[in-house]
Structure 1
Amino acid sequence: MFKKAMAVLSLIVVLIITYLGLPQEVGAAQTVEDIQDKGTLILGTSADYPPYEFHATIDGKDEIIGMDISLAEAIADELGVNLQIEDLGFDALLPALEAGTVDMVIAGLSPTPEREKSVSFSKIYYEDKPSIVILDKNRDLYGNQESLAGHTVGAQTGSIQADFAEQVEGAETYFLGDINQLVIALQTEKIEAMILTNSTAQIYQENRGDLYIYEGDFEGGEVEGNAVAFPLGSDDLVELADGVIDEVHADDQLETWLQEVSPYVELSEDDEESGSFLSQYWPLFWEGTKTTILVSVIGVFFGVILGVLLALMRLSDQAVLSTLATAYIEFVRGTPLLIQVMFIYFGLGMLVNIQAIAAGIIAISLNSGAYVAEIIRSGLSSIPVGQSEASRSLGLSYIKTMRHIVFPQALKNIWPALGNEFVTIIKESSIISTIGVAELTYQTGIVQTQSYKGILPLFISMILYFILTFTLTKVLNHLENKMSY
């Protein structure tokens, strides 16, 4: 049976690779007419980089603002369409653009020869210099670039700053996908320095007070140029964006936009009072908690349905059904959930326009189904065959035998393992934050960006996750005790 399952699995993998190797017609709009026909321009960005793009609470609502966002709105206005913002990890932006999940990317993105092979760039709309950021108390130790030799320099994954970090002679590099994570790494001295654009470095320095910045000496780093990215070959979109950029430069609009967002990148005195921290940011934590619960409940519901189906297929006398179920379970359990989430979101994005939260729920359900199937299968197998045979001899059908005789006993046996899977889903739902689903981990990142605090939001998030899992565990234990009577 195992050999048959592996043969089916190998065939499926070969078919998938063959399909993906064929020329794909990317789902993202390639022309001005395509965008105007659908009436929406989808922007991909990574909103953790003030003053370019970042989260801010305006009139009690979380919004993504910044100079780059204002530029995106100007392009959408020129097209005569609405702007829709998709907040993703920086290293997920170009894959999203290539998969067609977004129509353009504006995220302080610098054109490089490697990137220009896969996407089309507009002209440069803003220039900035790279800066090296260290802890102020260490300025005597690492106050110049040469002193970083033998130490660790961090940068954002996939950014041009990561290329600059590689140029620091004798230093080790450390890349993370989120600026907030880099700041935490610097704060806890996991790294000795990090590289940011000068404008962003100054904002963190002004709001944290414990940072020191100085200019680095990098090849190609005299001036960093940011551009708008479109799907490869979108010449008319690039031309339209170039025209908007020319108008923006002529009116000196960039400086106006920077001044408009400046109040939102500076902490007020109330923000700095620790006593007001939880009350100020609780709405974000609460929204994330609700989304985590929603995703987990739906994931568990469909995961159990799929798990029962797969378990019955696995135990079926039909070789085809059993082989397919085994192949599916082995494949899903043998691949990371993070990869599954990104594959479903970006892979399906090449075929259909799927929302991030839907992709996350599908991935969690499909993943959970494989694990639940094995739990249920083991429970069903633990019931003596004689009971099923006796039930059938008494005239009960297969369905009634499973429903009234086998399943009740099996459920009692597998309840602890099944409950553990439910708890695991709550914790693993944090993975879908990588595709922009606003669950608890995602909202924690927003709080870090807005408050310029790294550790406290993580601690609060840990407490909330614990409350969720502990409460669920107690409920499951109560139900288990009731089954004992």
Structure 2
Amino acid sequence: MNFELIEHALPMLLVGAGVTIEITAVSVAIGFLIGLFVGIARICQIKVLRIIAAVYADCIRGTPLLVQIFLIYFALPIVTGHRVEPFAAAVAACGINSGAYVSEIFRAGIQAIDVGQMEAGRSLGLTWWQTMYYVILPQAVRNILPPLGNEFIAMLKDSSLVSVIGFEELTRRGQLIIAQTYGSFEIWTTVAVLYLIMTLAISRVVAWLEKR
């Protein structure tokens, strides 16, 4: 193994890793907000909202993230007449994709709470939405921390797909370095190790939050 090549490439790969973390953090934040509202909409009392939420979740989860990236980056400009920046396309596609999966996590977490909790809140004079906000969600969030952590890790790895639109995150940086040095084994091994370090770090943070 050419350790000099790894030493030379590592600073550039670390920059790419930072970009990967940035994309993942922003995408998961967007996905969390989308997933929260869609997850609640899927079990709310308004039938139209339930249908819209179900269609969104099924369509996004039923199509590959790669296709969604292509739609936003290549197809959307044809419709709108405006070019979409790679970062905006990457974050939008990953965020929308994450939101569909997070919505299922929230839906399952909310439905895992005993129905008596909702009945107790309503009997105290709270509306359905107030009971959901003050009583149900705080309990549900505690229960869904592990799957949310898994979603964060999955999105961190799936963010490598944005390299297809030329966005220079970790995987794309590795490709560019290999094109110049032909050190496929060394570079891809280093890229894999960096992904492993990031995923292990996230796992430890989630485990700490669970204990708290």
Aligned letter for 2:172?
A: Y
Structure 2 residue aligned with 1:443:
173
CA deviation after TM superposition for structure 1 residue 404, in Å = 2.6
Aligned to 1:391, which of 113, 118, 121?
A: 121
Structure 2 residue aligned with 1:305:
33
Higher relative contact order (CA 8 A, sep 6+): 2
- Matched position secondary structure for 2:42: helix
Matched, 1:274 2:10: no
Question: Given the two structures, how large is their TM-score scaled by the length of structure 1?
Answer: 0.42
Structure 2 residue aligned with 1:463:
193
Structure 2 residue aligned with 1:356:
86
Matched, 1:287 2:12: no
Structure 1 residue aligned with 2:203:
473
Give the number of the structure whose alpha-carbon radius of gyration is greater. Answer: 1
Aligned letter for 1:456?
A: E
Distance of 1:274 and 1:333 partners within structure 2: 41
Distance of 1:317 and 1:292 partners within structure 2: 39
Aligned to 2:149, which of 419, 426, 447?
A: 419
CA deviation after TM superposition for structure 1 residue 403, in Å = 2.5
CA deviation after TM superposition for structure 1 residue 397, in Å = 3.6
Give CA-to-partner distance per residue, 1:141-176, whole Å, 9 cap, x none: xxxxxxxxxxxxxxxxxxxxxxxxxxxxxxxxxxxx
Structure 2 residue aligned with 1:72:
none
Larger relative strand fraction: 1
CA deviation after TM superposition for structure 1 residue 276, in Å = 2.1
Give CA-to-partner distance per residue, 1:78-126, whole Å, 9 cap, x none: xxxxxxxxxxxxxxxxxxxxxxxxxxxxxxxxxxxxxxxxxxxxxxxxx
Give the fraction of aligned pairs with identical amino acids, expressed as a percent: 37
CA deviation after TM superposition for structure 1 residue 292, in Å = 0.1
**Any conservation in 1 of the 2:113–2:136 contact (CA below 8 Å)?**
yes
Any gaps of 5 or more consecutive residues in structure 2? none
Distance of 1:391 and 1:327 partners within structure 2: 30
Aligned letter for 1:463?
A: V
Distance of 1:345 and 1:332 partners within structure 2: 16
Distance of 1:286 and 1:398 partners within structure 2: 47
CA deviation after TM superposition for structure 1 residue 401, in Å = 1.9
Spell out the pairing of 1:96-115 with structure 2 (5 A cutoff).
Answer: none
- Matched position secondary structure for 1:279: helix
Deviation >4 Å, runs of 4+: none
Structure 1 residue aligned with 2:46:
318
Spell out the pairing of 1:117-156 with structure 2 (5 A cutoff).
Answer: none
Spell out the pairing of 1:329-344 with structure 2 (5 A cutoff).
Answer: 329-344=57-72
Larger relative helix fraction: 2
Structure 2 residue aligned with 1:375:
105
Spell out the pairing of 1:190-201 with structure 2 (5 A cutoff).
Answer: none
Give CA-to-partner distance per residue, 1:451-476, whole Å, 9 cap, x none: 11111100000000000000000000
Aligned letter for 2:28?
A: V
Distance of 2:30 and 2:74 partners within structure 1: 22
- Matched position secondary structure for 2:168: coil
CA deviation after TM superposition for structure 1 residue 449, in Å = 1.1
Distance of 1:421 and 1:274 partners within structure 2: 35
**Any conservation in 1 of the 2:5–2:186 contact (CA below 8 Å)?**
no
**Any conservation in 1 of the 2:2–2:186 contact (CA below 8 Å)?**
no
- Matched position secondary structure for 2:144: helix
Q: How many matched pairs? A: 210
Question: Given the two structures, how large is their TM-score scaled by the length of structure 2?
Answer: 0.95
Aligned letter for 1:402?
A: M
Aligned letter for 1:339?
A: V
CA deviation after TM superposition for structure 1 residue 315, in Å = 1.0
- Matched position secondary structure for 1:315: coil
